A and B are shown apart, each in its own frame.
Chain A
């Protein structure tokens, strides 16, 4: 990484450009550019990578995001950047004896995370009993009376790998692993090359092909910069373990929505957590383990 001097020089350069732009006009605060003010648009363009911004710059960015959401959706949102807690690494386990394919998790996630209505982070696969062949899972199984005879269900989402191929693939480091194990995306840094989507073995990453299909009434105003804040088009996004909830100690929306209690989430570093109990006492497995991705997402059956 660059040293202090280059850092400072670059930041000054960017700030210089941004402030020139901002200074150039009382017109700066006049809405233009499709609804955004001039100064906001410039600041947007020159925004630095999340990990390089100072606290002050991050706060400015958060306020700018809130302003943009107000302009675009007419909603007052709260965008925060709660940091990772110490001594926390998140893990997830799904009890496939209990999952019955309701897809309640899928839709809870869509609502909680301000997803474009044509995107779902969670994909529930209907698998034939006796087989773990992902290539023959059904994605579009019928919604009538589930569970279907002779099948079991495998919900899949971002596995938050410890050796994530997507993080390696990104040419601009727009995606990285946070200290609490969550693999996050800086939506304002991503250039939309979609190389990470090719690299992911779990089909967990999604691209905003167009402007997200989202309306003001549907927006969840409690947002996080690395999580469910409204995203622009042309960037990649994915499950982020509901960072706006989990960093405050709450369960992710999918876990909260599951009516059968099939989802177990918690801190892998806490020996008394439910997730540790499951991993230590149940026959757990992970998908595509042979690829060496070390996912933090397990599956297990009762007994």
Chain B
């Protein structure tokens, strides 16, 4: 019963807001509509509407998928300090981190669904009525861990919200095991996604043991970066008390991960190019161009410059502690990792093809539109969930019969250092 009240109140919250809120929602709906229309075209005509070919069979959709799995994995970056190191300040923002994770995993799954040639046959994956090639197929592993992670995050967040709604403290003993599983799954989703690529020995650009560590390292740059920006937004808009120490913590994690990421990229460049053999053809295509084909080289070098700049900002203490520079570093990281892990990791493995054919791939408008639609959907999910969760977390929304507390979100002048 309380559940129904929760849903009612949550939906009421989502439909209530200033004109700015509604403008944002309208923008997101417009993005979703555009994406939806192009996806319908894709459903009718098939994937011919994209620029993918037999040579480059995975493109923009899977690039976005890879990036988003990394974002989702990074939610664990708030979970570990909160629950393992018992940092009280971080515990308050765990929920936001998990909402981000839920949206990211949902977007990732949606990117796979739009990429698949026969979405009407996705039920073939369901074990029992379909055939689930687990544990042989890495894609089956990925389906399993992604859905598991999604369920877990939905479960834990929902439990916390529900408890707060009923004005009681969530019982740690009840959900702590799931938190631990969640931590392993967070590392797991991104490692399994990396294995998806590194399992392919026929593609030397992917088939190296460093791929999984690189994925985790770059995930722990972009995830915290997004969270820093997101948490500052939430704090500004709703006055939700995000302690500055949390921002600082995330900034340090982001910086350390950036340093590790750059180191790993450097290590890879050495291995590829010192004694350059044919296995380095894809790396040469990406960084230097191959036989006059160099569509991706400006992108990757821009990404590396962005990451380098972000690392420098992060490494220099005064800069990292300055809000302005920190936000610049975050934006640079978000975009830089998106390029480097998305188009800069997925596409070059197909160029040249395993038997030497070069087809340069760039996404066309249809693919970009559908991707924008999915990003819109994810942002909408984040917006709606945060909109509904905030009053509960702030203390102003409680179940009928319970007197709401004074809102902690109206406490102005949160410690800003």
Contact = CB atoms under 8 A, between A and B. Distances in A.
Indicate if A touches B (C-beta under 8 A): yes
A14 B131 contact: no
B364 interface: no
18 contacts: A52-B131, A135-B356, A137-B356, A165-B202, A169-B200, A171-B137, A173-B133, A191-B118, A192-B116, A199-B202, A201-B202, A203-B353, A203-B357, A207-B117, A210-B48, A211-B46, A233-B46, A235-B118
A174 B138 CA distance: 15
B3 to A, nearest CB: 31
Contacts of A125: 355-356
A167 to B, nearest CB: 8
A156 B355 contact: yes
A103 interface: no
A148 interface: no
A192 B202 contact: no
Interface of B: 45-48, 50, 52-55, 57-58, 112, 115-122, 124-125, 128-133, 136-140, 143, 196-197, 199-203, 278, 281, 349-350, 352-357
Nearest to A206: B54
Contact of B137 (A6, A123, A195, A206): A195
A14 B129 CA distance: 8
A172 B131 contact: yes
Given A135-B356, A189-B121, A209-B52, A201 B201 contact: yes
Contacts of B353: 203
A49 B123 CA distance: 12
**Prevailing SS type, chain B contact patch:** loop
Given A171-B140, A203-B354, A191 B46 contact: no
**Prevailing SS type, chain A contact patch:** loop
Residue of A156, A172, A210 most packed against chain B (CB within 10 A): A172
Given A135-B356, A137-B356, A202-B355, A194 B57 contact: yes
Given A191-B122, A201-B202, A288-B202, A123 B355 contact: yes
A70 interface: no
Contact of B116 (A14, A193, A203): A193
A117 interface: no
Contacts, number: 152
Interface residues of A, number: 55
A200 B118 CA distance: 20
Contacts of B354: 134, 200-203, 288
A191 B201 CA distance: 23
A15 to B, nearest CB: 12
Nearest to B140: A171
Nearest to A125: B355
A291 interface: yes
A136 interface: yes
B157 to A, nearest CB: 28
Given A194-B117, A291-B201, 11 more contacts: A10-B128, A49-B124, A52-B131, A189-B124, A192-B121, A209-B50, A209-B52, A233-B117, A234-B46, A234-B117, A235-B117
